[in-house]
């Protein structure tokens, strides 16, 4: 049938008009859906270390310090590299023949297991001590696994039984414990002290399968390894002893023997004070040695003890415990001591922590010697280190080839505001309860500190600091801008330096926008530093419709993050949405998001 031209024209016009209207109303929606369904872009992604700022710790020993200043090692430079996990505390790694580190731990939770070394009716019913393997060559990226359930070991008649000397040698793990009393919190003259009395050492439990199964120590708190104290609550000399770290499988032991450094005091102290010999304070250090074996380790008759020096300065050793002499003596200024052999330097390094009055700021000082029996010289005195650092040691596995770069392992700030004290700071930054690693560099006298690398997060290149910040939710007391302040931090240290959602998991998001869109080419993402929350997957979206999927979980400690690099683009906004989290993450969020301008 023929249609008149005028009608055909009206029909065509109507069809075109309808088509244009459809395009007008449906176009934006189609574009939006297309952007949503567009395949994710490929982008270069890598782990980036936390931007660090190094510094030299001031060396300010008290005037009565008895140690001569070292003429070879004149100070300590903290590089800023660090790693902290919110585990239990008491980490003393021993480098085994299989290449792994094995360590005790307690008073907290580590990888799903809990251990508390207290046994009484009020705090904890059964005292236990944990055991873990530390796999890897970088302290910032270790895999930590419990080797077995925490082991039960009664402290009675004391109330605390904690880990001390730990050694893995020829496939056998010797795990020592020591006793504390009278109570974890003991009030004296209106002041709360923590474990003010150091007790005896009830020997070693033994494992011949790297901690999977254990044979308990045949000794007890009432029948300990060393014949002390002379009376209950009396002084001990080989208190809380720690094995000298001679490297992998004790490869640098001078005679094949294991050496232990103990902390102690003498009855009839000329300068008495309450809690003088506590879990963290003492007057002297003592030294013992033994050929390590299953048969020897719990047999007092197999031990020898340092008994001073003869007239020519030669060290004396005795099998008679009554003749033991102090290795080091600084009344009212000693405490827990650990020693490590630095093979490249051919020197022994000792860490001593004086923590009296047991629950306030603490002092750690580093000593060096050419021989384990001395003389010992001062490297540096770290006043208020931590500010409450304890159980400080140098794992030999992480000593550099030149012997000058090492990692301090310690715990810190277990009692942040006891007795009405001001809250403790995290000093150096990153110090915290659990397992803390900090990289240091030993400096020669007069050697200048290395120059700091620029911190991009605090530079003008990081445009996130000038962005408007929106989030899906925010936990009470936190702020969204905590994720864009240029500081990687947060709970359990400073909550102001992170963003935490209010109970969200997958689906939580953070969006940054700019009135003057910058040209950008990289995004940095740092997870919250606590051990509970972790982002395992997420999506970056941009105002131009592009999106990038996170290829790997964010490192679970905020000591490092993930860099996502892409071709330079102009963005009015960037949005990061969490799509996967670690099981039971309570309040997912970010310690920091950095958005870096592309350089001209």
Alpha carbons 328 and 526: distance in angstroms, whole number: 44
Contact call for residues 46 and 406 (beta carbons, < 8 A): no
Assign residue 300 the CATH number of its domain: 2.115.10
Banded model confidence at residue 16, pLDDT cuts 50, 70, 90: very low
Residue 225 has pLDDT above 70, yes or no: yes
Give the structural domain span for 154.
Answer: 69-443
pLDDT of 85 reads 87
Are 482 and 341 contained in the same domain?
no
Residue 324 pLDDT more than 90?
yes
Most confident by average pLDDT, 21-30, 149-158, 454-463: 149-158
In a domain, 76, yes or no: yes
Q: What are phi and psi of 85, to 5 degrees?
A: -125, 140
pLDDT of residue 430: 83
pTM above threshold 0.75: yes
Render pLDDT for 545-584 as a digit per residue (tens, 0 to 9).
Answer: 999 999 999 998 787 899 999 999 999 999 999 999 999 9
Whether residue 365 sits in one domain with residue 461:
no
Considering the domain architecture, whether residues 384 and 426 belong to the same structural domain is answered as yes
Please name every residue paired with 402 in a beta bridge, in sequence order, or none if there are none. none
Window from 197-201, 380-384, 428-432 with minimum mean pLDDT: 428-432
Give the tens place of pLDDT for each residue, 47-71: 888 777 899 999 999 999 999 999 9
Contact 240, 262 (CB under 8 A): yes
Q: What is the mean pLDDT of residues 6-19?
A: 35
Residue 22 has pLDDT above 50, yes or no: no
- Can you give the pLDDT at residue 24? 35
Give dist(CA 84, CA 538) in Å, integer: 24
Are both 424 and 471 inside the same structural domain? no
Residue 429 has pLDDT above 90, yes or no: no
Q: Distance between CA atoms of 467 and 575, rounded to whole angstroms?
A: 12
In a domain, 14, yes or no: no
**Within a domain: 17:** no
Name the domain boundary from 387, 422, 443. Answer: 443
Residue 58 is assigned to a structural domain of this protein: no
Chosen domain end from 443, 473, 498: 443
Please tell me the least confidently modeled range out of 42-46, 194-198, 218-222, 517-521.
42-46
Judged against a pLDDT cut of 60, whether residue 390 lies above it is answered with yes
Compare 532 and 210 and report the one with higher pLDDT. 210
Mean confidence (pLDDT) of the chain: 92
Domain boundary among the residues 419, 443, 467 is at 443
Rounded distance, CA 265 to CA 306, Å? 15
Same domain for 247 and 186, yes or no, is yes
Average pLDDT score over residue span 170-191: 97
pLDDT bin (cut points 50, 70, 90) of residue 496 is confident
- Shared domain check, 420 and 459: no
Are 84 and 559 in contact by the 8 Å Cβ rule? The answer is: yes
Q: Two tokens at 87? A: 């585990």
Confidence of residue 5 (pLDDT cuts 50, 70, 90): very low
Q: What is the pLDDT of residue 37?
A: 56
Residue 118 lies in a domain: yes
For 88-126, the pLDDT digits (tens) are 999 999 999 999 999 999 999 999 999 999 998 887 889
Residue 24 lies in a domain: no
Question: Taking 70 as the threshold, does the pLDDT of residue 131 lie above it?
Answer: yes
pLDDT band for position 38 (50/70/90)? low
Percent of the chain residues past pLDDT 90, beyond the cut: 81
pLDDT at 175: 98
Residues 265 and 144 in one domain: yes
The whole-number average pLDDT for the span 2-22 is 35
pLDDT-derived band at 381 (thresholds 50, 70, 90) equals very high
Q: How many angstroms separate the Cα of 326 from the Cα of each of 274, 286, 309, 315?
A: 21, 5, 11, 12
Please answer whether residues 562 and 525 qualify as being in contact, where contact means their C-beta atoms are separated by less than 8 angstroms: yes
pLDDT, tens digit, for every residue of 252-290? 999 999 999 999 999 989 999 999 999 999 999 999 999
> Where is 16: in which H helix or E strand?
helix 5-37
What's the mean pLDDT in 240-250?
98
Residue 478 belongs to domain with CATH number: 2.60.120.260
Q: What is the distance between the alpha carbons of residues 251 and 27, in angstroms, rounded to a whole number?
A: 73
Confidence class for position 30, pLDDT limits 50, 70, 90: very low
Q: Are residues 467 and 413 in the same domain?
A: no
The overall longest dimension of the chain from CA atoms, in Å, is 131
Show the DSSP H helices in 381-445 as ranges: none
Query: Rounded distance, CA 403 to CA 437, Å?
Result: 17
> Do 384 and 236 sit in the same domain of this protein?
yes
* Buried/exposed code over 567-589 (b: 16+ C-beta within 10 A; e: otherwise): eebebebbbbbbbebbeebebbb
Between 490 and 386, the more confident residue is 386
Q: Is residue 549 part of a domain?
A: yes
Element (H, E) at 593: strand 589-597
Same domain, 293 and 417: yes
Q: Cβ distance 356 to 414 under 8 Å?
A: no
C-alpha of 445 from chain center: 29
In a domain, 31, yes or no: no
**Number of domains making up the chain:** 2
Cα 163 to Cα 93, 139, 212: the distances in Å are 12, 21, 17
Residues 408 and 481 in one domain: no
> Do 384 and 466 lie in a common domain?
no
Tokens 């030993």 sit on residue: 442
The pLDDT value recorded for residue 208 is 98
């Amino acid at each position: 049938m023929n249609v008149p031209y005028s009608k055909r024209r009206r029909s065509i016009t109507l069809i075109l008009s309808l088509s244009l209207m459809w395009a007008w109303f449906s176009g934006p929606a189609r574009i939006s859906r297309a952007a949503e369904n567009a395949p994710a872009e490929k982008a270069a992604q890598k782990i980036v270390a936390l931007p660090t700022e190094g510094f030299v710790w001031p060396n300010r020993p008290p005037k009565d310090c008895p140690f001569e200043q070292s003429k070879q090692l004149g100070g300590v430079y903290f590089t800023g590299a660090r790693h902290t996990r919110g585990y239990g505390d008491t980490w003393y790694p021993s480098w085994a023949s299989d290449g792994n580190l094995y360590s005790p731990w307690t008073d907290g939770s580590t990888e799903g297991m809990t251990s508390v070394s207290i046994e009484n009716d009020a705090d904890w019913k059964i005292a236990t001590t944990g055991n873990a393997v530390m796999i890897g060559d970088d302290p910032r990226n270790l895999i930590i696994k419990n080797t077995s359930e925490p082991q039960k070991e009664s402290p009675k008649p004391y109330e605390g039984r904690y880990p001390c000397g730990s050694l893995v040698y020829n496939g056998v793990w010797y795990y020592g414990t020591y006793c504390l009393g009278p109570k974890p919190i003991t009030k004296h003259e209106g002041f709360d002290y923590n474990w003010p009395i150091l007790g005896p050492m009830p020997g070693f439990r033994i494992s011949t399968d790297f901690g999977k199964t254990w044979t308990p120590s045949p000794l007890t708190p009432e029948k300990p390894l060393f014949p002390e104290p002379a009376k209950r609550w009396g002084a001990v000399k080989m208190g809380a002893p720690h094995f000298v770290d001679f490297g992998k499988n004790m490869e640098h032991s001078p005679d094949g023997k294991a050496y232990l450094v103990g902390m102690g005091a003498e009855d009839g102290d000329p300068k008495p004070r309450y809690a003088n010999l506590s879990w963290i304070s003492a007057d002297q250090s003592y030294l013992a040695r033994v050929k390590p074996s299953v048969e020897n380790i719990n047999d007092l008759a197999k031990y020898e003890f340092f008994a001073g020096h003869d007239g020519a300065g030669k060290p004396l050793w005795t099998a008679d415990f009554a003749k033991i002499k102090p290795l080091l003596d600084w009344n009212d200024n000693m405490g827990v001591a650990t020693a490590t052999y630095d093979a490249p330097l051919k020197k022994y390094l000792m860490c001593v922590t004086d923590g009296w009055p047991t629950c306030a700021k603490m002092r750690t000082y580093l000593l060096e010697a050419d021989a384990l029996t001395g003389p010992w010289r001062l490297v540096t005195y770290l006043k208020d280190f931590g500010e409450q650092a304890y159980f400080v040691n140098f794992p030999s596995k992480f000593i550099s080839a030149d012997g000058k770069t090492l990692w301090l392992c310690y715990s810190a700030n277990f009692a942040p505001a006891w007795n009405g004290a001001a809250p403790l700071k995290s000093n150096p930054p990153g110090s915290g309860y659990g397992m803390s690693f900090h990289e240091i560099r030993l400096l020669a006298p007069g050697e200048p500190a290395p120059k700091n690398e620029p911190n991009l997060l605090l530079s003008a290149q990081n445009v996130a600091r000038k962005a408007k910040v929106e989030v899906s939710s925010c936990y009470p007391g936190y702020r969204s801008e905590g994720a864009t302040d240029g500081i990687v931090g947060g709970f359990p240290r400073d909550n102001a330096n992170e963003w935490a959602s209010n109970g969200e998991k997958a689906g939580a998001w953070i969006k940054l926008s700019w009135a003057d869109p910058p040209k950008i080419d990289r995004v940095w993402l740092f997870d919250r530093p606590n051990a509970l929350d972790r982002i395992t997957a997420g999506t970056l979206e941009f105002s131009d419709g592009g999106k990038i999927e996170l290829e790997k979980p964010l490192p679970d400690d905020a000591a490092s993050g993930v860099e996502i690099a892409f071709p330079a683009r102009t963005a009015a906004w960037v949005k990061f949405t969490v799509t996967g989290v670690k099981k039971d993450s309570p309040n997912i969020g970010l310690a920091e998001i950095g958005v870096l301008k592309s350089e001209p």
